[in-house]
Amino acid sequence: MALAERTDSRMQLTFENGTDPVSGDPIYKTKSFNNVKLDATADQLLAVTQALVPLQQLVLYTVERNDTALITEE
């Protein structure tokens, strides 16, 4: 049986940064925050996001958490 141990976590905020003049599709810009505590909850990450968004000039599109895990055999 395999075990997965989370070793790293980061939070990525995606903002709308206008539209492509040719296709009309939205253009996105991302900002990543590394070294997120491994035991941080989704509610805590959302609270941090809500504190950061007013400091930004762009409109928030998504919030993602990206985890890295070490997979080993038991």
Give a three-class secondary structure readout of the chain: CEEEEEEEEEEEEEEEEEECCCCCCEEEEEEEECCCCCCCCHHHHHHHHHHHHHHCCCEEEEEEEEEEEEEEEC
Question: What are 17-60's pLDDT values in tens digits?
Answer: 999 999 999 999 999 999 999 999 999 999 999 999 999 999 99
Contacts of 55 (CB under 8 A, 6+ apart): none
Q: What pLDDT does 45 receive? A: 97
How many domains are contained in the chain? 1
Q: How many residues appear in the chain? A: 74
Structural domain boundaries enclosing 10: 2-73
Q: What pLDDT does 74 receive? A: 82
